[in-house]
């Protein structure tokens, strides 16, 4: 299990190789890479700044990861979330779930991402194209997605 909060970008292939290496007990690897969008409709952004409290954020990410391991037969997982100023198109989050079987890997990856969005304490501030800035509120759709896990 691996949890990391960092400012630097990540390499999906390198992180996947680091996680699974030469292991032969892994039959399925599911990766999710989240990227910064340019915005929607008339709300275009030039950048997004992510803030966090390091100990609190990493502890919650570790709890989320442990809960996934308790729910599914996972061999390994990686959670990487970036902080700092990010521009549209840049990578922001990586979730890797590895299991002997695809169903567990798919479900665990979805669970991990749903709970990173709703439980991990990150604060996002968008810098808008028009020069304004705004903190991003929690979304009901994210809460609904996490709610499906009971």
Q: What is the pLDDT of residues 14-43, one digit of tens each?
A: 999 999 999 999 999 999 999 999 987 778
What pLDDT does residue 117 have? 92
What pLDDT does residue 89 have? 97
Q: What is the pLDDT of residues 84-130, one digit of tens each?
A: 999 999 999 999 999 999 999 999 999 999 999 999 999 999 999 88
> Hey, which residues does 133 pair with through a beta bridge?
127
CATH 3.90.1170.40 fits 2-147, yes or no: yes
What pLDDT does residue 110 have? 97
Runs of H (alpha helix) within the chain: 12-20, 54-71, 102-118, 140-147
Whether the CB-CB separation of 118 and 112 falls below 8 Å is answered with: no
* Average pLDDT rounded to a whole number, residues 47-69: 95
* Residue ranges of domains in the chain: 2-147
* Maximum Cα–Cα distance across the chain: 52
Give the pTM: 0.94
């Amino acid at each position: 299990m691996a949890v990391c909060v960092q400012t630097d970008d990540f390499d999906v292939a390198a992180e996947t190789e680091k996680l699974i290496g030469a292991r032969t007990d892994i039959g399925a690897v599911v990766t999710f890479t989240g990227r910064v969008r340019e915005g929607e409709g008339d709300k275009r952004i030039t950048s997004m700044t992510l803030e966090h409290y390091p100990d609190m954020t990493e502890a919650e990410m570790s709890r989320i990861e442990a809960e996934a391991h308790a729910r599914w037969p996972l061999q390994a997982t990686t959670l990487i979330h970036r902080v700092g100023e990010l521009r549209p198109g840049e990578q922001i989050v990586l979730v890797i779930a590895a299991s002997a079987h695809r169903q567990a890997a798919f479900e665990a990856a979805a669970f991990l991402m749903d709970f990173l969005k709703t439980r991990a304490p990150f604060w996002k501030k968008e810098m808008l194209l028009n020069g304004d800035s705004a903190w991003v509120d929690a979304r009901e759709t994210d809460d609904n997605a996490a709610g499906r896990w009971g």
